[in-house]
Structure 1
Amino acid sequence: MSTSTPTVVLVHGAFADAAGWFGVINELQRHGIPVIAPANPLRGLASDAAYIASVAAQTAGPVVLVGHSYGGAIITVAGTTENVVGLVYVAAYILEEGESLGDLQGRFPATALVSSLKQWTYPVEGGGLAEEVSITEEAFPAVFAADVSGSVVKVLAASQRPLAVSAFTETASAAAWRTKPSWAIVAGADQAINPEVERFGAKRAGAVTVEIEGASHAVAVSRPTAVADLIRDAVRATS
């Protein structure tokens, strides 16, 4: 790959960490594509997007942002960063400016995720407590990773990172897909985000869309080659 090859920045979503990109990273590195997978703070849309924007801005050369799940909302805002040249959405929320996760989700039937969340609290500045949610251990396999082997699912469930509840109501301050090219993967058997939500967002953004039949929300874990192939398309198109 030439020096103008964009660096791929992989942004994980809620109830996951950057290790979920393992297979995708391996595929991209095998093809000589530079890639980093930062830890997403999961504390709120504005602050998380500001963090990912800062990662992109400090990365030399062009960047393709890839967002899974809630990470899609983050790259929609962070993607306005000057050196971001493309956006790839993986089983993700693709928000419009002024829209929240709750707004977009509310247009479509709810998934099993809604009734499978466990609430926690965490300390915030000033001595107060804020709420966050994770997926219950019992529900995690069916909701998040139905097409992933049992032993791997147990590790994913144990290592999941909760999302601040405030992230569901914060609205997107920008929609980078209005000015940057985009690609999207719809996970056909997603039980965390209704596939209709993914299709709607991708169509609205004018994204080049691939649907993977039978894929769970953890499509980057279960189908890393397919996910990496679409990211490679985005890299080639923006190089």
Structure 2
Amino acid sequence: MNRATTVLLVHGAWHGSWCWDPVASILRERGFDVRTVDLPTVHHPNRAELGLADDAAAVADAIAAIDGPVTVVAHSYGGVPTTQGAGDPRVRHIVFIAAFVLDEGESLLASVGGVAPDWWQVDGALTTAGSDAQPPQSLFFGDLDTQTADSTSQRLQAQATRPFLEEVTMVAWRGRPTTYIVTERDAIFPVFAQEALAARSESAIHRLDTSHSPFLSRPIAVADIIEQAAG
């Protein structure tokens, strides 16, 4: 069965399209056309010079390349360029997964209190995730087996710092149906903060007893919620 809606998957900071592979495979088996985007502030050779506008443009360009209606799914930081870049009227629904749902004039760093978490390792214009005390295995992948968490952590890349500091200038979620997946065992994003952001967009809320990365630990459950949102 071919679905009418295309699903666009937007990864978070330090990640890449690879993190969506299990969910994308399930959705394709269910008849969806699935696209992904690699955000340039993680993947471009000159990423240290890039910012939020570049990531938002990548999201907007990916949407523009799709014929027909689109459901955009954004994880964590990916919610920020999605908020700014997914304003195309063909975007019928946005699914946020433990994501930042920011309003106009807000930045990611300001939304977490204006001080970078101690596990952000900032080296000039680039930021890496994790420290000796808080390794990425426990931050992102706490409900994966040790071997998978280790191998997945090795795929994380340095991220440009600029987009964390820059303010959102357009808001795609306002006036548009949204869904928010709250990750209840998240070592990064407190549940109360996720709930507060979900309330902004009056999202339909789903809860998963997972770490920050349910697309890897519970891909069927995530695919089920996306399928429901995509109609």
Q: TM-score, normalised by structure 2?
A: 0.89
CA distance in 2, matches of 1:80, 1:8: 15
The CA deviation at 1:175 is: 1.5
Quote the offset at 1:91 in angstroms: 1.2
Taking a change above 3 Å as real, the CA distance of residues 100 and 87 of structure 1, as seen in their structure-2 partners, is same
* Alpha-carbon shift at residue 136 of structure 1 (Å): 3.7
Match of 1:135 among 119, 130, 139: 130
- What is the CA–CA distance in structure 2 between the aligned matches of 1:115 and 1:72, rounded to whole Å? 22
- Compute the RMSD of aligned alpha carbons: 1.9
Residue by residue, what CA displacement relative to the aligned partner does 1:145-185 show, whole Å, maximum 9, x if unpaired? 10011111112211102221112211111121112110110
Distance 2:128 2:2 in 1: 42
Q: Is residue 2:194 matched to residue 1:195?
A: no
CA contact (8 A) 1:10 1:66 kept: yes
Q: 1:67 corresponds to which letter in structure 2?
A: A
1:73 is the counterpart of 2:69: no
Match of residue 123, structure 2, among 111, 120, 126: 120
Q: Tell me whether 1:183 sits opposite 2:179 in the alignment.
A: yes
Counterpart of 1:52, as a letter, is: V
Q: What is the aligned counterpart of 1:208 among 196, 204, 210? A: 204
Residue equivalent to 2:218: 223
- What is the CA distance between 1:144 and its match in structure 2? 1.1
Q: 1:19 aligns to what SS in structure 2?
A: helix
Distance 1:27 1:63 in 2: 17
Aligned position for 1:60: 67
Deviations 1:181-225 (A, max 9, x none): 101101011112222221111111101110112x10111111111
- Rounded to whole Å, the distance in 1 between the matches of 2:198 and 2:227 is 18
Task: State percent identity of aligned pairs.
Answer: 31
Runs of 4+ in 1 over 6 A off after TM superposition: none
Answer yes or no: is 1:86 the counterpart of 2:90: no
Distance 2:59 2:191 in 1: 25
Residues 9-88 of structure 1 mapped to structure 2, 5 A cutoff? 9-42=8-41, 43-88=50-95
What is residue 47 of structure 2 aligned with on the other side?
A: none
CA contact (8 A) 2:2 2:31 kept: no
Gaps of 5+ in 1: 122-129
